């Protein structure tokens, strides 16, 4: 009998546990360790931050779902992974041993790398539901006392989509509140150009997003390095291609929301052979760590090198569909190992994204993630907003029912030509 432990029950970890339960025979044990007992749908946080959703609408109590699916649950969280002993030390001092471990801990938010950044200091965040609820209070204060707004993503950030989303969602919410005319908005980003998204653009995301910015009267600063944030003032340097400072900006703000850089969580950071210098888990094409082959990783915690050199560092985003492809590959590979076979599945890591703008949005598909690509498509329209709302309801239904990929999702993805697993061409051996 094998015990497979999933560490982290976010977007990747929950469906990882469900797919493992489907993959493994009943005698094998699957357990989940998470910080807390609730699943929270992170992509809804920009809506929470302007009051379009509340906590109840985007959270699910995992305990009954996991119990129903015969999956063990440790909501006390992990203090440290001990790969040599194949155990995970929990925050209450107890420990859980494993035969296979899947790390799905998402990111630690590195606000501390910039003076004055983050919800404890002078900028808001939408990365966590608690942050989004606090941002909602700041939004209400902004509506009561309108003033300049700064939104964006700092140096080293990898998650740009939510920064664009929140910009346009806030624009819509301020228009609805009839105060947008008193709120000058500036988008500040480490990307070398608008719509780069850490992917060197997808289709014409540059043209689409620049056009949206112009139409919504939003100014922008690219190649931006945020030096510090004081109450009401952000200090930004615009960096030229040769690394010199092209222009320094002091941006006054009544409200600011900046996506931070990410790093690996403390429970794994600094484990020789397991993580890179920023604490992300190093995996091979089968999602497996070479130094500790019984450890796999999925989601934002996986190490992916940047797509190319940029004047200010930017990371590669790890979006939902890409994470699901990692999950499906990992479930199959662990299933094979348990049966005494070698891993063979590779996730496609395709980037498929719906960026909501409150009443419209931008969608893109990058197949593969790194250019040149076979599919390099982006589009915009009101349909993206409708599709995003549908995706939220559908994903939460999936988590609530404990099922990962129902039949009709498989059909829809196949119809679109989007695969989760790479089709490996097996050459016939010469006679």
Give dist(CA 302, CA 280) in Å, integer: 5
Q: What is the DSSP letter of 90?
A: E
| Contacting positions for ligand FAD (CB under 6 A) | 7-13, 33-35, 42-43, 45, 77-78, 104-106, 126-127, 159, 161-162, 265, 267, 299-300, 319-320, 323, 353
Residues in the chain: 431
Tell me how far, at minimum, the Cβ of 127 lies from ligand FAD, in Å. Answer: 4
Task: Indicate if 353 belongs to the active site.
Answer: yes
Nearest CA among 110, 126, 153, 16 for reference residue 71: 16
Tell me how far, at minimum, the Cβ of 262 lies from ligand FAD, in Å. Answer: 9
Return the beta strands (E) in 175-310 as ranges. 185-189, 218-221, 224-230, 233-239, 245-252, 255-259, 262-263, 295-297
Residue nearer to ligand FAD on the CB measure, 239 or 283? 283
**For the CA atoms of 395, 397, 399, 405, what is the dihedral angle to 10 degrees?**
-70
Tell me how far, at minimum, the Cβ of 246 lies from ligand FAD, in Å. Answer: 29
Which pair of tokens denotes residue 220? 């922008």
Residue nearer to ligand FAD on the CB measure, 10 or 311? 10
Give dist(CA 45, CA 210) in Å, integer: 24
Find the catalytic residue in 127, 159, 222, 301.
159
Q: Which residue is nearest to ligand FAD (CB)?
A: 10
Nearest CA among 357, 356, 355 for reference residue 365: 355
Nearest CA among 252, 237, 248 for reference residue 122: 252
Give dist(CA 69, CA 17) in Å, integer: 9
Tell me how far, at minimum, the Cβ of 243 lies from ligand FAD, in Å. Answer: 29
Tell me how far, at minimum, the Cβ of 248 lies from ligand FAD, in Å. Answer: 29
* Share in percent of the chain as helix, strand, coil (round to 5): 30, 25, 45
Tell me how far, at minimum, the Cβ of 96 lies from ligand FAD, in Å. Answer: 11
Nearest CA among 247, 209, 204 for reference residue 225: 247
Residue nearer to ligand FAD on the CB measure, 150 or 159? 159
Contact 268, 275 (CB under 8 A): yes
Give dist(CA 307, CA 197) in Å, integer: 11
| Residue whose pair of structure tokens reads 């990692």 in the numeric block | 326
Which pair of tokens denotes residue 238? 């615009």
Residue nearer to ligand FAD on the CB measure, 160 or 220? 160
Find the catalytic residue in 127, 222, 301, 353.
353
Residue nearer to ligand FAD on the CB measure, 150 or 355? 355
Residue nearer to ligand FAD on the CB measure, 237 or 420? 420
Angle between helices 161-176 and 129-144 (to 10 degrees): 40
Tell me how far, at minimum, the Cβ of 213 lies from ligand FAD, in Å. Answer: 19
Contact 196, 206 (CB under 8 A): yes
Residue nearer to ligand FAD on the CB measure, 104 or 221? 104
How far apart, in Å, are the Cα atoms of 48 and each of 133, 393, 395? 6, 15, 17
Task: Indicate if 222 belongs to the active site.
Answer: no
Active-site residue numbers? 159, 353
């Amino acid at each position: 009998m094998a015990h497979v432990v999933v560490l982290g029950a976010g977007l990747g970890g929950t469906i990882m546990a469900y797919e493992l339960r489907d993959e493994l025979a009943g005698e094998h044990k699957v357990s989940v360790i998470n910080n807390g007992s609730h699943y929270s749908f992170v992509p809804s946080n920009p809506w929470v931050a302007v009051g379009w959703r509340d906590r109840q609408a985007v959270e699910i109590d995992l305990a009954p779902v996991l119990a129903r699916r015969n999956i063990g649950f440790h909501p006390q969280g992990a203090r440290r992974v001990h790969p040599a002993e194949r155990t995970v030390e929990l925050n209450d001092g107890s420990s859980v041993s494993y035969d296979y471990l899947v790390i799905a801990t998402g990111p630690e938010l590195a606000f501390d790398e910039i003076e004055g950044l983050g919800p404890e200091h002078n900028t808001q965040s939408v990365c966590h539901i608690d942050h989004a609820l606090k941002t909602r209070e700041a939004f209400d204060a902004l509506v009561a006392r309108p003033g300049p707004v700064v939104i964006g993503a700092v140096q080293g950030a990898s998650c740009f989509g939510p920064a664009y989303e929140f910009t346009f969602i806030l624009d819509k919410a301020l228009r609805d509140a009839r105060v947008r005319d008193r709120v000058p908005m500036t988008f500040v980003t480490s990307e070398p150009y608008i719509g780069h998204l850490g992917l060197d653009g997808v289709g014409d995301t540059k043209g689409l997003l620049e056009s949206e910015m112009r139409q919504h009267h939003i100014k922008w600063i690219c190649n931006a390095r945020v030096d510090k944030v004081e109450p009401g003032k952000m200090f930004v340097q615009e960096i030229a291609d040769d690394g010199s400072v092209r222009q320094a900006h002091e941006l006054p703000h009544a409200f600011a929301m900046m996506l931070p850089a990410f790093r690996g969580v403390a429970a794994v950071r600094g484990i020789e052979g397991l993580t890179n210098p920023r604490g992300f888990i190093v995996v091979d094409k089968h999602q497996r760590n070479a130094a500790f082959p019984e450890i796999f990783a999925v989601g934002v915690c996986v190490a992916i090198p940047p797509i190319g050199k940029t004047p200010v560092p930017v990371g590669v985003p790890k979006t939902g569909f890409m994470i699901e492809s990692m999950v499906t590959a990992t479930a199959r590979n662990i299933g094979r190992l348990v049966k005494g076979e070698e891993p063979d599945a590779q996730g496609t890591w395709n980037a498929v994204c719906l960026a909501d703008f409150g009443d419209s949005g931008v969608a893109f598909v990058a197949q593969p993630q790194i250019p040149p690509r076979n599919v390099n498509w982006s589009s915009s329209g009101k349909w993206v907003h409708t599709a995003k709302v549908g995706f939220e309801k559908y994903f939460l239904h999936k988590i609530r029912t404990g099922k990962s990929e129902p039949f009709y999702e498989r059909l829809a993805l196949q119809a679109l030509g989007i695969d989760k697993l790479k089709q490996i061409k097996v050459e016939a051996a010469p006679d």
